Structure 1
Amino acid sequence: MPDGEPKQLYLFSTQFNYFGQRTHSGVSLIDWFDNRIELKTQSQVIELELEATETQEYRCKAVHVKYLDTGETDSFFLKEGGKVILCAGAATPQLLMPHREKLNNPEIGKYVNDHMIIPLGIYLLNKNLKVTPKDNYAPIFATTVWQPETGESGAETVCTFEFFAGNFERLWFFISHLYLAFLLPNWIKKRMLQTPSLFNLYKRIRLVIEKINSWLNLWERIELITVSLKFNPVTEGEYLRENNRINLGFFEANQDSQVAKEMITQILSLMDKLGDKPHWLVRLIFWFVGIPFNKNQVNQYIERYSKRYLLSQQHLAGGCLFGKAIDKGIDNPEHTGKVYGLTNLHVADLSASPLPRVSSQMTAYLIGFHVATQLSLAKIQKTEQPLA
């Protein structure tokens, strides 16, 4: 650490064990059977009500919600000492933007994302390649540098390939997160939120698939491998206050499309060497969402991705509120993830299965675990406080 400045390096509590397997998330520290916790499904937070404090900061005093099934609204008021933890996703800047001037926090909504993730298909892993426990959850990164041809405009950028491998049981949650949540049309996602029976049906289908897979494994153990491409686009995204929309600007520059097409074409050749394409019925499912298995399908996939899937991917990637808008907790661990200008509102990615990233989003995921840990320790050290 140069010049004896220890704060130049700050290590967050890790969510992974020494095998690289993800064992914790921010919400895993919460006892869901605590009688003080009430789960609110089919509801959407529409407003945060703030009040001034003696410290010139503000306190979130109430959370106003709308029930998606009935359209009715309700309010939940925080008791003294109560805290609010918000996901780092797209809804957070939307809720905080109206209070930006009041909080003297102009960084809110300034950054949406700094990278894009493009998933590719699932292959049957070559039997000569062995899968270790670390390969299941911790991605193996391969990097290369893309640069424009001589005389063409553009700037070189680093591209990262994230490989995940393992049997179907181990990869199920990864697959469902990356493909089902990412590629399903938004109207289906909304309908599932409004109709719990549809979600229960999905869970039953999952059990059937797992039974079939277990039956198949009696004859032969099948290992899978998948990969996604990550790179930084020419322009970063921002949150537009005027119409509460995310402005990404990805693919507006020709370089973004060029990078995606060239890198995916290269990685498809590698995937053909790492494994075999799945059964044609499985490939047919991927065909409906456009994911390519040969080079001739790449251009069409990028076109479809940029128009239909990009925003969903950015939402799942999280990190819509990070950087200078929140406290890193360097001076006080209890303030990790706290929104500047607020005394009791923290931001952390509370997703149950976020994917590791090689950008500032990874920090957001680690903050999720770190925030919950610090709040839990603070609660134990002090008098018992109500959960919010």
Structure 2
Amino acid sequence: MKALFAVDHIFGRSADGAVFTIGGKFPYPAWQSYLDVFEQLTVVSRAIPLPDPAGQRRSDGPRVDFQLLPARRGLDRLRGMRDARRAVFAAVKQADVVIARLPSETALIACAAARFHGKPYLVEVVACPWDALWNHGSKIARLYAPLFTRRNRRVIRDAPVARYVTRAFLQQRYPTRGLEYVASNVELPPVTATRIFDGFSDIIRFGTIGALHTRLKGIDIAMRALHQLKRERPSLRWRYEVVGEGDPATLLQLRDALGLQDEVRFIGTLPPGDAIARWLGDVDIYLQPSFQEGLPRAVIEALNQGRIVIGSTAGGTPELLRAERLHRPGDVEALLSIIAAVIDTPPRALASEARDNLRMGRSFSRDDILAARRSSLRALADLVPAHRP
């Protein structure tokens, strides 16, 4: 049985045709749960040329092939929508089932194609489409947000099978009439906590993982809060490092305008697994002041390393963190207040919190997550005979 997976991730294609995941989100092992149920997987997404794939992980491999569309953005993407739609409909026709990761324009087209061709489909609901576009940063995205949200809500409502990454948040906003499953899209590689937080050193180290090409991760909010921290506590020594793909030019301009050249560094991407774990092991306070989330992988990774974690109330983040470590998205003053409270908390209490965080991070058992994913995929496979004449 052949499955088609539709997503809006941007892959890289090298000169020899090999496909790489940019940012590490879809390395070849990520397809294993799909290959446990289906004989072949075709991934439909977008791609850019990748002249130098050094440091990137292969995404293609045995039983996984790709149909990649140009990685257009904004109005240019709208102009190419007819060609994209034609390509996706043709690919869906060749598949037995469709798996659509939402929110995603490519995945919405794939669901429409599945209905047209009479193919069963499953939606993976991994984030809130309204939050994603409304907080994107562009006027065009805000104008499109209501329509995009309605389209996603309708597709999720009518999906034969829906799998959510949250326990409650996304289900409440985007309910389904179909079969419903819960399984995180976070599958952490087996790594050991390098050093559970046990107190601050001479320099407090803050960290964030997030893409730099939009403001969805709230990195600007973190810098503004830390700027105020510097003004209020001038003798306090600290550093803030950001890991993530994308051009940091806009954020560098803000950093320089705030006078944080000595404290803030953008270090690019790191391979998932041990490299991220080692970096997190040197972070004292992990910040995730996002405007939009599903169930944030980076927060779970930080918890799994026994870090102190502060995040916004976006998406499913409140399902992971204690209430006193949460702030409203975009609220610089609230974030500053929580950071100050953490710094002033006795070391013994923070060490206890770090141990609690470690337990929360390790509750995302890889075996349990894969079992839940396979259950939803088998439910999808069981629908195939009913969709054939």
Q: TM-score with structure 2 length normalisation?
A: 0.27
Higher relative contact order (CA 8 A, sep 6+): 1
Larger radius of gyration: 1
